[in-house]
Amino acid sequence: MPKAVVELPLFKEAKNYVFRLLKIRFRSEKELHDKLQHRGFSQETITQTISYFKQLKLVDDHQFARKWIASRLLLPQPFGVHRIRFELKEKGIALGIINEAWAQATVDYSEGDVVGRLAQRQVVKCSSMSPIKRRQRVYGYLLRRGFNPQVILEIIRDL
């Protein structure tokens, strides 16, 4: 249990709001800070609220990054490393934490296999197009999903 907290007038309201947010999905510290700030809470209330949840271990950027990466890689149509890193940076996760979480989450991950599988799905959708147009469409799709351009080129060369 967190140490005794001198509750600010809006602390209870902020706590309830954060509990509702965390009920939906795990959040980064920056996300919670931005949400509370947008709701009009004072900086002191925001700091106290985030500290409270960190003590409860309900806010942990390391754990958030690991969960985010795992969820993005397990989608039926997963995202690539560039997109996932970008999303984590947008959520306020430090680069060191991102690199550490990525190394842990991708021990058995092969970007080439994932790109190949997604490319095959897209080829079927673009089967009526000319080979050049089909390659362009597949390349653009995979690039927007955040995969490495060199890996994409190696895979689509044979399409």
Q: What is the pLDDT of residues 63-89, one digit of tens each?
A: 999 999 999 998 899 999 999 999 999
Number of domains observed in the structure of the chain: 3
The answer to whether position 150 is within a domain reads yes
The answer to whether position 89 is within a domain reads yes
- Please identify which residue in the block is written with the tokens 């959708």: 125
Q: Are residues 96 and 135 in the same domain?
A: no
Q: Are residues 30 and 70 in the same domain?
A: no
Q: Are residues 15 and 54 in the same domain?
A: yes
pLDDT one-digit tens code per residue, 8-48: 578 999 999 999 999 999 999 999 999 999 999 999 999 99
The answer to whether position 83 is within a domain reads yes
Residue 137 maps to which CATH number?
A: 1.10.10
The answer to whether position 1 is within a domain reads no
The whole-angstrom separation of Cα 154 and Cα 159 is 10
The answer to whether position 6 is within a domain reads no
Q: Are residues 67 and 41 in the same domain?
A: no
5 vs 101, higher pLDDT = 101
The whole domain housing 22 covers 11-59
pLDDT one-digit tens code per residue, 98-134: 999 999 888 888 889 999 999 999 999 988 989 899 9
